[in-house]
Amino acid sequence: MSVKIKDLAKQLNLSVATISKALKDSHEISPETKQRVFELAKKLNYTPNPYASSLRKRSSKTIAVVLPEVADSFFSLAINGIESVAQEKGYHVLIYLTHESFEREEAILKEFQSGRVDGILISVSGETRSSDHIKEVITAGMPLVFFDRVCEDVETAKIITNDFESSYTATCHLLKAGCKKIAYLSTSSALSINNKRMEGYKQAVADSGIKEKTTRIVSCDSNTEGNYKIIFELLKNKNRPDGLIASVEKLTTPIYLACESLKLSIPREIKLVSFTNLQAALILNPTLTTITQPAFEMGKAAAAVLFKSLEKTNFNLKKETVIVPSVLDARNSSKN
């Protein structure tokens, strides 16, 4: 019968977790304890179980990037940031798309249990309301780093941007430009980033000097045609907003098209700020004011943290939260 971690734990009067961490050379365990564990493991001829070992060997030289889509410029730029680091390290990058489906995200993470990859970078789907599938893969010994869209309740590294502050800034920018009735166009209410952006908007309205401090959240969690209809209905209303905050890039085209159909002039009659990294923001009619996210830098930072944990056994992923700030690029769509 082979020796197990619990046998070592019993003999040394330590917990299974401590033995496990000691065997992984964790910095959380004192050198003295590690020494005792290593000596007994050697004496009893302990060998780690093949599954855990195959994960620890990290021989696939591959990392996985799990994301909702690639049609959004944030994600395509983030991928470039990730690959810039991975290439330097001689690693392959596999991209898995969830298409905003929780079911697909679960199925993809299950795949990783087979040790196909050495580590995971993930930005969760718009449907993801539970994090058990992510915790499971981490428990199995797989290093995992969130970027942009995170699960708050999972203890691992997170590379995020300042969504609350960005949205607060965007709202103040519109208020300063003379807007009195700003609407926030939201997407998935499950997403941490959407909620933070929504809170930033609400706070800015609450802090403002405007008389009627009512906020207006419009859910635009549909496809292009569906969102066009929602925005068209919103804007054709007599009591329409005079300012819009688009929380995601894909709302940009439907907003411009709806304004065109309704002959609403941007920025004269309605002002607009959009969360987007679209290069074409510079050549739209009018040019688009954006909250520009540090997409490439966030991808790079996420990959850098992941590689740190792949290279150093005593690196603690849990401690890492990096906030890379976004920037407001004021252009004509929000001009006074």
Nearer to a second copy, 30 or 285 (CB): 285
104 binds a second copy (CB under 8 A): yes
Among residues 8, 22, 284, 305, which is the contact residue for a second copy, using CB under 8 A? 284
Identify the bridge partners of residue 92 per DSSP, sorted by sequence position: 62
Q: Tell me 212's DSSP state.
A: -
Among 47, 49, 51, 107, binds a second copy (CB under 8 A): 107
Least distance (Å) between residue 71 CB and a second copy:
4
How many whole angstroms separate alpha carbon 290 and alpha carbon 326?
10
Q: How far is the CB of 280 from a second copy (least distance, A)?
A: 4
Dist CA 299 CA 65 (whole Å) = 10
* Among positions 79, 122, 179, 245, the unique one binding a second copy when judged by CB under 8 A: 79
Contacts with 129 (C-beta within 8 Å, 6 or more apart), sequence order: 102, 190
* Max Cα–Cα distance, the chain, nearest Å: 82
HSE (side-chain half, CA atoms, 13 Å) at 150: 23
Which of 92, 135, 240, 335 touches a second copy (CB under 8 A)? 92
Which of 224, 261, 313, 314 is close enough to bind a second copy by CB under 8 A? 224
Least separation in angstroms between CB 69 and a second copy: 7
The answer to the question of residue 262 lying near a second copy (CB under 8 A) is no
Per CB under 8 A, 17 contacts a second copy: no
Shortest spacing between CB 308 and a second copy, in angstroms: 23
275 near a second copy, rule: CB under 8 A: no
Residues near 233 by beta carbon (within 8 Å), at least 6 away in sequence: none
**Considering the rule CB under 8 A, would residue 59 count as an interface residue with a second copy?**
no
Residue 331 interacts with a second copy (CB under 8 A)?
Answer: no
Coil, strand, or helix at residue 234?
A: helix
Site string for a second copy, 113-132 (x = CB under 8 A): ---x----------------
Query: With b meaning 16 or more CB within 10 Å and e meaning fewer, what string describes 69-88?
Result: beebbbbbbbbebbbebbee
Which one of 100-108, 165-173, 189-197, 314-322 is the stretch in contact with a second copy (CB under 8 A)? 100-108
Q: Which helix (H) or strand (E) holds 272?
A: strand 271-275
Structure tokens at 235: 């804007």
Closest CB 278 distance from a second copy, rounded Å: 7
Beta-carbon contacts of 191 under 8 Å, excluding residues fewer than 6 positions away, are 124, 126, 149
Give the whole-angstrom CA distance, residue 2 versus residue 97. 41
Binder of a second copy out of 8, 19, 108, 204 (CB under 8 A): 108
29/284 Cα distance (integer angstroms): 57
Complex with a second copy: residue 140 or 280, whichever CB lies closer: 280
Number of residues that bind a second copy (CB under 8 A): 37
Give the footprint of a second copy on this chain (CB under 8 A).
Answer: 69-71, 73, 75-77, 79-80, 83, 87, 92-97, 99, 104, 107-108, 111, 116, 224, 252-253, 256-257, 260, 278-280, 282-286
